[in-house]
Amino acid sequence: MKFLVILSALVALCAGHAIPTTLGDNSHYVEGESRYVWIPDGEGVLRLVDLEEPVDESSLDAGNGANNEYWLFTRLNPNNHQLLRINDDDSIRNSNYNKDRPLIVIVHGWTSSGNSPLNPLIRDALLHDGDNNVISLDWSIVASSPYTTAVRNVPSVGQHLGNFVQWLINNHGGNWNNVHLIGASLGAHIIGNAGRTVRGRIARISGLDPAGPQWSDNPNGLNRNDGVYVECIHTDGGLLGILDPICGANFYPNGGTNRQPGCSLSLCSHDRAYELFAASVRYNSFIGRRCTDLNEARNNSCTGSNLHMGNTDFSKRGTGLYGLSTGSEWPF
Catalytic residue among 185, 206, 266, 280: 185
Q: Is residue 1 part of a domain?
A: no
Q: Is residue 159 part of a domain?
A: yes
> How many folded domains does the chain comprise?
1
**pLDDT value at residue 223:** 98
Catalytic residue among 28, 160, 234, 270: 270
Active site residue 88: no
In SS3 terms, the chain reads as CHHHHHHHHHHHHHHHHCCCCCCCCCCCCCCCCCCEEEEECCCCCEEEEECCCCCCHHHCCCCHHHHCEEEEEECCEEEEEEEECCCCHHHHHCCCCCCCCCEEEEECCCCCCCCCCHHHHHHHHHHHHCCCEEEEEECHHHHCCCHHHHHHHHHHHHHHHHHHHHHHHHHHCCCHHHEEEEEECHHHHHHHHHHHHCCCCCCEEEEECCECCCCCCCCCCCCCCCCCEEEEECCCECCCECCCCCCCEEEEECCCCCCCCCCCCHHHHHHHHHHHHHHHHHHCCCEEEECCCHHHHHCCCCCCCEEECCCCCCCCCCCEEEEECCCCCCCC
**Neighbouring-strand partners of residue 288:** 307
Q: Is residue 107 part of a domain?
A: yes
**pLDDT value at residue 136:** 98
**pLDDT value at residue 206:** 98
Q: Is residue 62 part of a domain?
A: yes
CA triplet 308, 314, 318: central angle to 5 degrees? 45
Residues 211/185, Cβ–Cβ less than 8 Å: yes
Catalytic residue among 138, 160, 180, 209: 209
Residue 104's nearest CA partner among 78, 120, 126, 81 is: 126
Q: Which residues are CB-neighbours of 117 under 8 A, at least 6 positions away? A: 42, 43, 44
**pLDDT value at residue 16:** 61
CA distance 136 to 123: 8
CA distance 55 to 44: 24
Residues 247/222, Cβ–Cβ less than 8 Å: yes
Residues 293/250, Cβ–Cβ less than 8 Å: no
CA distance 91 to 44: 33
Q: Is residue 39 part of a domain?
A: no
**pLDDT value at residue 9:** 33
**pLDDT value at residue 63:** 72
Q: Is residue 27 part of a domain?
A: no
Active site residue 185: yes
Considering only CA atoms, give the Rg of the chain.
Answer: 20
CA distance 160 to 181: 14
Q: Which residues are CB-neighbours of 196 under 8 A, at least 6 positions away? A: 158, 162, 225, 226
**pLDDT value at residue 12:** 38
Q: Are strands 133-138 and 229-233 parallel, antiparallel or unpaired?
A: unpaired
Q: Is residue 8 part of a domain?
A: no
List the chain residues with pLDDT less than 70.
1-16, 62
Q: Are strands 306-308 and 287-290 parallel, antiparallel or unpaired?
A: antiparallel
CATH assignment at residue 213: 3.40.50.1820
**259 preceded by a cis bond (ω within 30 of 0):** yes
Q: Is residue 106 part of a domain?
A: yes
Show the domain range for 90.
55-324
